[in-house]
Structure 1
Amino acid sequence: MRKKYFTLIILLFAIKSFAQIDAKAKFQKNKYELAVACYKKSDFVNALDLFSVASKIKPENELGQESIKKVDTLKCLLRKDMMQKALGTWKLIGDKPLWAVKTTKDSQNKLVDEFVEISENKILFYEQDKKTLVKKIIKTENLVYYNKDKSDSLFSAVILSDGTIWNCTVDDKSHVLHVINIAKQTENGVEKIENENLERYYLKM
C-alpha cells in the first residue's frame, strides 16, 4: 500500500514538472514568434526585448540559443544606428530638456560652454570660454558599451572609466542627446541607480 502511495506521489510530481516545462516552452515559443514578427517589421527595439526574454526562459534549448544570436545581432545593428546619429559635437544645455525655462537662464549665466565630441571609439569632453573661445580639454574616454550579459537587451548604455554607466538616447527631431546615469560598476559589482539619477541634455552643433 505504501509503495503504491509513494508511486502515486512521484507520478503526480512528474506530471506537474512536465506541465511546468511544457508551459515554459510554450511561453518561450510565443515570445520568439512575436520577436520574429517585430523583426520582420523592422521594429528592432521591441524585437530585441522579446528575443532577450525568450533567451532567458530556456537558454539551453534551440530557441534559446537562436534568441541569443538574434540579441547579439540586433545589439550590433541598433548600436550602429545610434552611433550614426551620435557622431559629432554636442553642447551641454543642462540637466533638463531644452524647453525648460531654467535651463536657458542657467546657460546664459555660465562663463564657459561644455561640449562632448563623439567619434566611433572616443568621447572627448571639453570646455570653451564664451569670450575668448579658447578650448580646454577636460577628459577623454574610450567609447565602451556596457554589456552585463549576452542576453541583456540594453544596447545604448556606455560605461566610463570611473565606473559610471550612462544610457544614451538621441532624438532625431529635436537633435538632442539625452544621457542618464543608470548604474555604477564597483568592486562589489554593479549598483543600480533607481532614484535621483543624474541626467544631461546635449544639443547637436
Structure 2
Amino acid sequence: MVAAASTNRGSGRGPNVGAAVMLVLPTGNASIGLGSGVTSVGVDVGAGVSPTGRFHLSADASRGLSAVPLSSLDAPGSTWLDVDADVDLFGPATATASLGGDFGGADTTARAREVGAGVRYVLHGPLTLSVAVTHRLAGDSPVWGLAVTLGTAGIGVSPLNPGSPLQGQRQVVGGGVAAACHGRSRVCP
C-alpha cells in the first residue's frame, strides 16, 4: 500500500512539472514478489509537454530514500527512469507507450529495462478501464505483464502520467496510488 502526496503544475500545451512523495507501508510478501514487507519512503519527479492537444510526452525519475527499494522490481540503490508518449485517440480513449529502466545501484545484473503499451478508456466521469502490456528487456521483472484495471484512480505514482504501463507494473508489485494528471482523456481530480 502506498500513500502519496503529489502536485502537478502547468496546463494545456505548455510544459508540466510534477512531484510526489511516497510512503510504502509494510504490506505484501517479498518472498513471492508482492510488495516489500517493510516501510520505505521515496520521491518521484517528472516533466512533460503536450506539443499538440492530442499528443503528450512525459519523463519521470523515482528513487527510494530508504534502505529498501520502493518496488520489489527495483534494484537496490537504483533510480527508475521512465519515458512515456500518449496520444488521445477518439473521445475518451488514450493510447500510451513507455520505455523505462533502473539506472545506478550496486547490482548491475538486476537492472530492469522494460517497454510497455496500453489503452485507457474513460467510461463515465472518473471511472476508467485500462489495459496495459509490459515486456522485460533485462533484469528481474516478469518477462511479460498484463494489467487490466477498472477504477477511478491512476495506478502509478507518476504525478504526470498515472496510467503509464511501466509505472503501473511497478506499483502493482510494490503498491499503488492515485496521482494528478493532464490530457483530455486522463482521470483528473
* TM-score with structure 1 setting the length: 0.29
The structure whose RCO (Cα within 8 Å, separation 6+) is larger is 2
The structure number with the bigger radius of gyration is 1
Q: If each structure's helix is expressed as a fraction of its own residues, which one has the higher value?
A: 1
* TM-score with structure 2 setting the length: 0.31
Q: If each structure's strand is expressed as a fraction of its own residues, which one has the higher value?
A: 2
